[in-house]
Chain A
Amino acid sequence: EDKVVQSPLSLVVHEGDTVTLNCSYEVTNFRSLLWYKQEKKAPTFLFMLTSSGIEKKSGRLSSILDKKELFSILNITATQTGDSAIYLCAVDPPIQGAQKLVFGQGTRLTINP
């Protein structure tokens, strides 16, 4: 059974700190690994990673995938209170398609001013 595990489950830091969120997976094969940010309502897309070792970057956020060790990390530098959210990692298994995502439990990130 495909499984995605995120750590830590909860993290509280001060504004300006750098955080690293982890996502490990037990999926035989997959098309892509996805990161989402969820504030009060629907998850919003952050990154899609398909190749190992290639960093994706968007402002203060970056993410990388290691297909050999079966994990991905999401880094946020110079955190701001607006970064407070649940961060979700998901894998998109092959064949079944994008509508059968397998999600991790999420990491609840709290940024204190």
Chain B
Amino acid sequence: NAGVTQTPKFQVLKTGQSMTLQCAQDMNHEYMSWYRQDPGMGLRLIHYSVGAGITDQGEVPNGYNVSRSTTEDFPLRLLSAAPSQTSVYFCASSRGKNSGNTIYFGEGSWLTVV
């Protein structure tokens, strides 16, 4: 049971570098999203998608891009990494709008920007 798979699990970047966090789900879920988690701040929504070809901004979208060319994949791109983007990133997916108790989270990607 793969569920939601995120890669890489750990990454160190230099300021100004770009990179892509990969997220894939094999449950044919419509909804996918990216959150970041910082100490003392819970999870904050970066971007989300309600289906292939449709994306929208969350609470903290600046410095990140997303695309949803297929139902399965929802990559998160950091355009020019900054130390403020040091965080733990979680990808999540669910069947649809009324699925609060069936949101599946990936295991997280720990990103450090130096």
Contact = CB atoms under 8 A, between A and B. Distances in A.
Contact of A101 (B45, B50, B102, B108): B45
Interface stretch (A58-66, A75-83, A91-99): A91-99
A105 B105 CA distance: 17
Contact of A100 (B42, B48, B101, B108): B48
Contacts, number: 73
Nearest to B90: A42
A31 interface: yes
Contacts of B108: 41-42
Contacts of A105: 40-42
A103 B100 contact: no
21 contacts: A34-B101, A42-B105, A42-B106, A43-B105, A45-B103, A88-B42, A90-B42, A97-B97, A98-B94, A98-B98, A98-B100, A98-B103, A99-B48, A99-B103, A100-B33, A101-B45, A101-B103, A103-B43, A104-B42, A105-B40, A105-B42
Interface of B: 31-33, 35, 40-45, 48-50, 58-59, 90, 92, 94, 96-103, 105-108
